[in-house]
Copies of this chain bind each other. A is one copy, B any other.
Amino acid sequence: MKFEALVEVRLRPGISDPQGATIERALPALGFDGVSDVRVGKAIRFAVEAPDEATAREMSVAVTDRLLANPVIEEAQVSVL
Contact = CB atoms under 8 A, between A and B. Distances in A.
A62 interface: yes
Given A32-B62, A67-B23, A42 B39 contact: no
* This chain's copy number in the assembly: 2
Contacts of A62: 32
B8 A32 contact: no
Interface residues of A, number: 34
A41 B38 contact: no
17 contacts: A20-B46, A23-B44, A24-B46, A27-B67, A30-B66, A32-B62, A32-B63, A32-B66, A33-B49, A34-B48, A36-B46, A36-B49, A37-B46, A38-B45, A40-B42, A41-B42, A42-B42
